[in-house]
Amino acid sequence: MLPDSAQPPETAETPAVTDNPPVTSPRPRLSSHRRLIKDILEVLFLVLTIYTGVNLATARAIVEGRSMEPNFATGQLVIVNRFAYFFSKPQRGDVVVLHNPADRCKDVVKNRSLISLPFVNQDNSVGCEDLIKRVMGLPGETIQIIGGKVYINGTELAEPYLAEENLCPSGCDRAFQLADDEYLVLGDNRRNSYDGHSFGPIKRELIVGQAWIRYWPLDEAKVIPHPDYGTVSTTPIQLPTNTPSPTPGPTSPPDASNYTGSFKVTPPGR
């Protein structure tokens, strides 16, 4: 037996040698081409979603005609809020856009698309453009127009936004008893407007939305104000028997470009 000092030194075990090379993970490679395509598709999807949402909620329109002078003029661009009356009802003084109530325009309105397509004019029927008017009479009210003044349930409305030369002191007297789902709309230019004087009350379903913002011309850009009429009687009155009844308006205005006060949807970007 060898002494401890003579014992052979212990050696570490040598790993077995194999023929297989060590496995290494592949180095990551960036595919710039695929990434670029993906980014473009994501941006296009986002733009399309925003565009669709904006067109569902609003419309951009151009004022044509004199019926809302002096507060709106031909060539002004307005944003119309289509969602304004989803959760509330039109109020007196609201400037609204409504479908033309003429019988000959029913099919045009029915087939009109809600979303405007870029650079495409959807409405090819002259004289059936949407109208811009101001809500004056609400459901259930008694409306009288006498000497150019509007009376709601016997209460005269103060309308400081009207110009004296735009009033109609004679030949425009009317009287209406509105049903529970009817509104009376008038132009601010009472002398020259195709409105409730001619076609009478309208149904709620004809109202497209509320004229919300005027954005052109820039020096007149602002949120469209809402007038305060003060306290108005809420009790309908009995119409006198000698009050003129509404008379049917013309099938088409004599000069639509100056008379109706219409709205046309403009291509996006204007």
Q: From start to end of the chain, where are the E strands?
A: 58-64, 77-81, 95-98, 130-137, 142-146, 149-152, 155-156, 174-177, 182-186, 202-203, 207-216, 222-223, 262-265
> Is 133 tagged catalytic?
yes
Instruction: Give the pair of three-digit tokens for residue 34.
Output: 């695929």
Q: Rounded to whole angstroms, how far apart are CA atoms 170 and 218?
A: 37
- How many residues make up the chain in this entry? 270
> Is 106 tagged catalytic?
no
Q: Rounded to whole angstroms, how far apart are CA atoms 163 and 160?
A: 8
Which residue out of 116, 133, 193, 262 is catalytically annotated?
Answer: 133
Instruction: Give the pair of three-digit tokens for residue 95.
Output: 């400037």
Which residue out of 5, 25, 32, 67 is catalytically annotated?
Answer: 67
Residues with active-site annotation: 67, 133
